[in-house]
Amino acid sequence: MYEVLVEHSAERDLKRLPKSVFARIIPHLSELRQNPRPPNCRKITGSEASWRVRVGDYRIIYEVDDELKKVMVMRIKHRREVYR
């Protein structure tokens, strides 16, 4: 079981989301505890440990530390904004 840590920037992103999107994102964050690399995740090109999960038009960007069993959620934004 992994520990999911949400960075301050991702916490701010969550607060700005519409309630309907927020409700869809939370189960995906919980799922990362069981499996930090679910079937719908993709590795971010050019990064050592960064992954993304797609939730509709939104992306959850996170890093996985297998040694410490931690998942650090970095950003949660709309797909057109998240990679900037």
Among 56, 63, 64, 60, residue whose Cα is nearest residue 77: 60
Query: pTM of the predicted model, to two decimals?
Result: 0.92
Q: Which range marks the domain in which residue 74 is found?
A: 3-82
Among 28, 72, 21, residue whose Cα is nearest residue 49: 72
pLDDT on residue 47 = 87
CATH code, domain carrying 70? 3.30.2310.20
d(CA 37, CA 34): 9
pLDDT on residue 19 = 96
pLDDT on residue 9 = 96
Alpha helices (H) in the chain, listed in sequence order: 8-16, 19-34, 79-82
In the chain, the number of structural domains is 1
pLDDT on residue 49 = 87
pLDDT on residue 8 = 97
